[in-house]
Chains A and B, each alone.
Chain A
Amino acid sequence: MKTLVRTGRYLALLVLVCFFLMPVYALLITALKDPASVSVVRMWELPQSFSMENFRIVWPDLREGFVNSALLAVPASLVSAMLGAANGFVLSKWRFPGADFVFPLILFGMFIPYQAILIPMYRTMQSANLVGGLDGLIIVHIIYGLPITTLIFRSYFAGLSDEVIEAAKVDGAGMLRTFFHVALPIAPPAFAVALIWQFTSAWNDFLFGVLLTSREFWPITVALNNIAGGQTVPFNQAMASALLASVPTLLVYVLLGRFFMRGLMAGALKG
C-alpha cells in the first residue's frame, strides 16, 4: 500500500514535470533545428541534425534589445534596492510617527494596475522630456519598484533585534551611521532578493517599455514581440528569439533560485 502511494506520487509528479517542460521541449528542439527542416506540423519531432542557424538569424535583431535591457535593468534594480533598503530600515527600526500609516500606502503601489497611471505617466514623462531613451524608463522602474523593495527590506530588518540598534544609539551613532554600519553590512541576503526581483521585473516588463522608448532603445521584450510577434515570422525564428530573450532571467533563476523564491513570498506579503 505504502509503495503504491509512493509510486503514484512520483507518477503524478512526472506527469506534472512533463506539462511544465513540454513548451520548453518544443522551444528547444525547434530552435535547434535546421531552418530548412522546420515545420509547425512537425514541431514535436526530434531534429535530424542540430544547427545554430536560427540563433544566428535572429541574434542581430535581438542584440540591441539585449543591451538596452541590461542597461535598464541593472541601474533600475540597484537604485531601487538602495532606496528600498533605506526605506525598509527607517520603517522598521527608525520609525517616525505615522510610519504604520504610510507603509500600507506604499504597499498599495505594488498592486495598482499600471493602466490606471499610464496616461498621466506618459504625459508627465513627455513634458519632462524623458520619453524615447532609457532614462525615463529607468526612472519609472525605480519608482514603481520602490514598494516591493521597501517591503523586502522592512521585513528583513524587522527580524534584526532591536538591541543591536539600541546599542548603536547608545554609542551615539546617528541614524545614517547605524544604517550604514549596522544594518547594511548584514543586509546582503535582502539585497539579493530585492535585486533579483527588480532585475526580473525590469527585464520582463513590456508595457512601460513599449510606451516610453523609441526603437533604438527598445528593451528586449518589445524587440522580441516585434520580431516574433508578427504573424508571418517563421516559427523557428520565433522560438529561437523567445529562448534567447529568456536566457538572463532563467540564468538568474537557476543560479539564485533561493532568493528568487523569497522575492515571490515577499510579493505575496509573506515576507
Chain B
Amino acid sequence: MTQTSRSTSESGSGAAVVGRGTQPGPKASKVRRRLRAWGPGLLLVSPSLVLLGIFVYGFLGWNIRVSFTSWRGQTPVYDWVGTRNYSELFDNERFQIDVRNLAVFTFVFIGGSLLLGFVMAMLLEKGVRFEAFFRSVFLFPMAISFIATAIIWRWLLNNGSGESTAGLNKLFDNIGLGFLFSDWHKTPSSWAIAAIALPAGWALSGYVMALFLAGLRSVPEELREAARVDGAPERKVFWHVVRPMLLPVLMSAVVILAHISMKTFDLFYAIDQGNLRIDTPALYMWFTTFQPGFFARGATIATLLLFGIALVIVPYIWWSVRTERRK
C-alpha cells in the first residue's frame, strides 16, 4: 500500500518539474500562444519523461526506501528501521572487504587504462600507416560482452603451476618470462582483484585511447604552429599547448571509468564466483538479495553504490551541460 502512494508521489514530482510552465500566466492569450509553440514538443517527449521518471527516479527512490526497512525473506516489509541497515553494513566484514577491493580495482583499472590509452593515442596521433587497423584492434574488445570477455580471460588467468601451467603463465614461460608467473586473482594478497583490471583494461583502454585521440586532434594546428614559431621545442609545445586542452578529456575518461568500475557486475561474476578476493559491492548486492533474501541489505548496498556514482557523475553532467551552454 505504501508503495502505491509512494510511486504516485514520485511521478507527481516528475510532472511538477515538466509542467513548470503550465501555471496560468498573467495574460491568458500569451500563455495560449506560448503553449501552442512548445506544447506539442512537450507532448511528444512526455511519454519518455514519464517512463524515465518512474524507471529511474521512482525506482531509485523506492530502492532507497527499501534500504530503511527490515525486509528479509520473500515477502516485502515496509517498516521503518532508520539507518540500522547502514550501520550494520559498515560493520559487515564482507562489505569492508568489498569496499577495499573496489578501491584497489578502481585504482589499478583507471590508472592502467589511462596510461595504456594515453600511450596508444600518442603513438597514433602523429599519423602512422595503417592507423585505421591499429585503432580497430585497440577498440574491438568494446564490442564484446563482459561475459564473453570473462570466459576468455578466466582461462588466461589460470594459476596452475608445474605441469598444469596454462594461460598467460604458460605464455610467459614460453617466451622466457617465466619469472612473471602470477596466481592472478587467486593470490592470497589483497591485491588479487587487481588481476581483473587486466581483462577490464583490455576491454576499455581502447575507449580511453579514442577519447584522447579525439582530444589531441581537436587541438588546432595553428596553436601548435604559433608556439613552434616562438621557438618552443616539441616537448614544450605539448606541455603548454596540448596538455591543458587534454585536461577535460582526462576528466571524462576518469569519470567514465570510475563509474564503470563501481557498477560492473558480470565481468567478476563470470570470472570466478564465491571468491571473496574479487568480491565487490555490486556482486554482494546480487548474492545477498535474491537467494538468501536480504532485500533491505541489498537495497542498502545499492543505495551506497548510487551515491558513490552520483558523487562523480553529477558534477560531470553539470560541467558538461555548462560547457555546452557556454559554446
The answer to A–B direct touch (Cβ < 8 A) is: yes
Contact of B302 among A9, A95, A118 (CB under 8 A): A118
* Across-interface contacts of A187 in B (CB, < 8 A): none
**With contacts A44-B171, A107-B317 known, is A98 near B18, CB below 8 A?**
yes
CB < 8 Å: which of A40, A86, A221 contacts B266?
Answer: A221
B314 & A108 in contact (Cβ 8 Å cutoff): yes
**Contact check: which of A114, A246, A268 meets B211 at CB < 8 Å?**
A268
Contact A109 B151 (CB under 8 A): no
**Which residues of chain A from 36 to 65 have a CB within 8 Å of any chain B CB?**
40-41, 43-44
- Do residues B47 and A83 form an inter-chain contact, with CB atoms below 8 A? yes
Query: Shortest CB–CB separation between residue B28 and chain A, in angstroms?
Result: 17
Complex contacts, A17 vs chain B, CB 8 Å = 134, 137
Q: Mark B233-271, 1 if CB is under 8 A from A, else 0.
A: 000000000000000000011001001001101100110
Query: Which residue from B17, B123, B134, B289 sits with its C-beta under 8 Å from A119?
Result: B289
With A9-B128, A27-B152 given, is the CB distance from A267 to B256 under 8 Å?
yes
A157 at the interface (CB under 8 A from B): no
The interface residues of chain B lying within 8 Å CB-to-CB of A114 are 263
A270 at the interface (CB under 8 A from B): yes
Q: Is B313 an interface residue (CB 8 A)?
A: yes
Contact B18 A95 (CB under 8 A): no
A207 and B266 contact, Cβ closer than 8 Å, known pairs A16-B138, A143-B52, A268-B256? yes
A261 at the interface (CB under 8 A from B): yes
Q: Among the listed B116, B148, B282, which residue makes an inter-chain contact with A115, where contact means beta carbons less than 8 Å apart?
A: B282
A185 CB-CB contact with B under 8 Å: no
Docked complex: A1-56 residues within 8 A CB-CB of B: 9-10, 12-13, 16-17, 19-23, 26-27, 40-41, 43-44
Q: B263's closest neighbor in chain A, by CB?
A: A113
Q: Are B155 and A16 in contact (CB under 8 A)?
A: no
Q: Using Cβ atoms and an 8 Å threshold, which residues of chain B touch A112? A: 56, 60, 306, 309
A105 within 8 A of B: yes
Q: Which of B63, B140, B265 contacts A117 (CB 8 A)?
A: B63
Q: How far is the CA of A71 from the CA of B24 in the complex (A)?
A: 47
Query: Is the CB–CB distance between B137 and A21 below 8 Å?
Result: yes
Q: Which residue from B57, B140, B155, B214 sits with its C-beta under 8 Å from A238?
A: B155
User: Given the complex of chains A and B, what is the CA–CA distance between A83 and B45 in angstroms?
Assistant: 8
- Bound Cα distance A121, B207 (Å): 30
- Minimum Cβ distance to chain A for residue B180 (Å): 14
Question: If the complex has contacts A90-B42, A146-B52, are A119 and B299 also in contact, measured as CB distance less than 8 A?
Answer: yes
When distances are taken between beta carbons in the complex, the residues of chain A under 8 Å from B42 are 90, 96
B residues in contact with A174, CB < 8 Å: 40
A153–B36 Cα gap in the complex (Å)?
23
Is B302's CB under 8 angstroms from A119's CB?
A: yes
Does A100 count as interface, using CB distance less than 8 angstroms? yes
Closest to A5 in B: B126
B321:A100 contact, CB within 8 angstroms: yes
Q: Quick one: which of A100, A104, A200 contacts B317, CB cutoff 8 A?
A: A104
B66 interfacial by beta-carbon distance below 8 Å: yes
Known contacts A103-B321, A108-B317, A204-B145; A23 and B59 CB within 8 A of each other: no
**A116 and B60: CB pair below 8 A?**
yes
Let me know if A172 is at the binding interface, CB within 8 A. Answer: no
Closest chain B residue to A27, Cβ basis:
B152
Residues of A within 8 A of B259 (CB): 111, 113
Q: Mark interface residues in B300-327 (1 if CB within 8 Å of A CB, else 0).
A: 0111011001100110111011000100
A134 within 8 A of B: no
Known contacts A41-B163, A112-B56; A96/B21 CB under 8 A: yes
Chain A residues contacting B298 (CB-CB under 8 Å) are 115, 118-119
A41 close to B252 (CB less than 8 A): no
Q: Would A221 and B313 count as touching, CB distance under 8 A?
A: no
B210 at the interface (CB under 8 A from A): yes
- Is A188 at the interface (CB under 8 A from chain B)? no
Give Cα A16–Cα B306 distance, bound, in whole angstroms: 35
Q: Which of B40, B145, B318 sits near A176, CB closer than 8 Å?
A: B40
Whether B302 contacts A12 by the Cβ 8 Å rule is: no
Binary flags per residue of A100-143, CB closer than 8 Å to B gives 1, else 0: 11111111110111111111110110000000000000001001
Q: How far is the CA of A246 from the CA of B18 in the complex (A)?
A: 41
Which residue of chain A is the closest to B266 with respect to CB atoms? A206
Contact (Cβ within 8 A) A91 B45 = yes
Query: A77 an interface residue at 8 Å Cβ cutoff?
Result: no
Q: Are A245 and B145 in contact (CB under 8 A)?
A: yes
Q: Could you tell me the distance between the alpha carbons of A111 and B253 in the complex, rounded to whole angstroms?
A: 14
Task: Enumerate 8 A-B pairs (CB-CB under 8 Å) in ascending A order.
Answer: A9-B126, A20-B141, A41-B160, A115-B263, A116-B59, A116-B60, A204-B147, A224-B148
Given A224-B147, A265-B211, A265-B214, 18 other A-B contacts at CB below 8 A?
Answer: A13-B123, A86-B48, A100-B321, A106-B52, A108-B313, A113-B262, A114-B263, A117-B56, A118-B298, A118-B302, A119-B63, A140-B55, A225-B147, A239-B151, A246-B143, A246-B145, A253-B140, A264-B210
